[in-house]
């Protein structure tokens, strides 16, 4: 999708036909399709560093004009929303992935009024909600304290965002996790931005008793198998993901920790943004728009209905007279 402001035709989180600059809201892989070395990009400094550390991509930093601002999205380090002033259609916010709860590692979500809101749809259903993050992290700490005396524990979590929250939560109970290379590299970026994380990398770990290992979810079983063949005892395995509320992943434990807004948080965000029109994006765009409409909001899926279009001077919103909460 493309929106226009100050002569820029801005592709939102992925390549789009006719764009002349990309906005990369944050460094998760589902938001960087088509981004290569040298791609002209609006992004935070933290996102640019994470792109380099995780994917080896060095984007070209495009100076941000006055009509555009990057607002904190509270999702992971450096995550931003795009706020754009346009001549034809007033102000537009593109949320990217966002999180309403305060996170000590991701900062606080900034919310502004806008005429149109293009919003992420990751969790579109009213019946899916997340327990408070502190509660989930406290449950993980409890698992480590009670079960980690005699056995290794292998925790799987996304390498950007969740892994750092877990590193911090483990540090709070005096545990220095042993992390895989990828998580170690990303932890390094967080540290360069002022966050204190205590960990050691797999391979550098000193001889020890039982340990807590932190890796990407796809490597948990492999690491657990290696540990049990070298040390004898079978390690405890667990995965930490927002999807733990939806699927059984087959580990000993799973924890639903999300860095996305659930439906109720999305409503809170929308109400505070107070847009006249809402355009949903992502795989669940149609379901989210449908559910928002049943709650009385003027919402439609942007991708399917092609309701967000670029004109010479700005975004065009369909049914402009008809905007607002129904």
Interface with Zn ion: number of residues (CB under 5 A): 3
Q: Which positions from 246 through 265 interact with Zn ion, judged by CB under 5 A? A: none
Binding piece for Zn ion, criterion CB under 5 A, among 53-61, 93-101, 164-172, 315-323: 93-101
Only segment of 90-98, 99-107, 138-146, 162-170 that touches Zn ion (CB under 5 A): 90-98
Q: CA 81 → CA 95, 98, 252, 287, distances in Å?
A: 5, 8, 37, 22
The b-or-e profile of 95-114 (16+ CB within 10 A means b, else e) is: bbbbbbbebebbbebbbeeb
Q: How many CB atoms lie within 10 A of CB 85?
A: 18
Q: Which of 36, 38, 45, 43 is nearest to 12 (CA)?
A: 43
**284 touching Zn ion, by CB under 5 A:** no
Enumerate residues 6+ apart whose C-beta is below 8 A from 135.
none
Alpha-helical regions (H) of the chain: 45-55, 133-147, 162-172, 181-192, 220-231, 263-273, 285-294, 302-305
x-or-dash string of contact with Zn ion, 6-35, rule CB under 5 A:
----------------------x-x-----
Q: Tokens 């806008």 belong to which residue?
A: 114
CB nearer Zn ion, residue 30 or residue 134: 30
Only segment of 96-104, 169-177, 212-220, 294-302 that touches Zn ion (CB under 5 A): 96-104
Q: Give the closest residue to 277 by CA, choosing from 117, 39, 66.
A: 117
Q: Cβ of residue 153: shortest distance to Zn ion, in angstroms?
A: 26
Q: Which of 49, 97, 115, 165 binds Zn ion (CB under 5 A)?
A: 97
Q: C-beta of 26: minimal distance to Zn ion in Å?
A: 6
Shortest gap between Cβ of 242 and Zn ion (angstroms)? 10
CB nearer to Zn ion: give 118 or 154. 118
Closest CB 97 distance from Zn ion, rounded Å: 4
- Minimal distance in Å, beta carbon 120 to Zn ion? 7
Question: Distance of alpha carbon 98 from its chain centroid, rounded?
Answer: 6
Site residues, Zn ion (CB under 5 A) = 28, 30, 97
């Amino acid at each position: 999708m493309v929106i226009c402001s100050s002569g820029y035709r801005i592709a939102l989180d992925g390549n789009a036909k006719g764009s002349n600059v990309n906005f990369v809201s944050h460094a998760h892989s589902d938001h960087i399709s088509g981004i290569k070395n040298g791609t002209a990009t609006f992004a935070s400094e933290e996102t640019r560093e994470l792109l380099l550390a995780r994917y080896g991509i060095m984007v070209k930093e495009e100076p941000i004009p006055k009509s555009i601002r990057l607002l904190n999205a509270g999702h992971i380090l450096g995550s931003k929303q795009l706020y754009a002033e346009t001549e034809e259609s007033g102000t537009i916010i593109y949320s990217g992935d966002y999180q309403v709860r305060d996170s000590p590692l991701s900062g606080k979500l900034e919310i502004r009024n806008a005429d149109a809101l293009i919003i992420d749809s990751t969790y579109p259903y009213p019946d899916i909600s997340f327990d408070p993050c502190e509660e989930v992290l406290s449950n993980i700490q409890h698992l480590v304290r009670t079960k980690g005396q005699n056995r290794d524990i292998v925790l799987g979590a996304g390498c950007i965002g969740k892994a750092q929250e877990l590193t911090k939560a483990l540090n709070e109970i005096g545990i220095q996790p042993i992390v895989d290379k990828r998580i170690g590299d990303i932890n390094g970026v967080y540290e360069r931005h002022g966050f204190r994380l205590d960990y050691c990398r797999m391979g550098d770990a000193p001889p020890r008793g039982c340990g807590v290992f932190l890796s990407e979810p796809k490597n948990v079983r492999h690491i657990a198998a290696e540990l049990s063949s070298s040390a004898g005892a079978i390690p405890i395995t667990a995965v930490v993901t927002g999807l733990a509320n939806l699927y059984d992943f087959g580990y000993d434990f799973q924890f639903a920790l999300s860095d996305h807004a659930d439906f109720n948080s999305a409503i809170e965000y929308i109400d505070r943004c107070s847009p006249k029109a809402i355009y949903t994006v992502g795989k669940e765009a149609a379901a989210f728009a449908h559910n928002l409409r049943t709650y009385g909001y003027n919402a439609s899926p942007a991708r399917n209905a092609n309701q967000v279009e670029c004109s010479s001077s700005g975004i065009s919103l369909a049914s402009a007279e008809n905007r607002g909460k129904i």
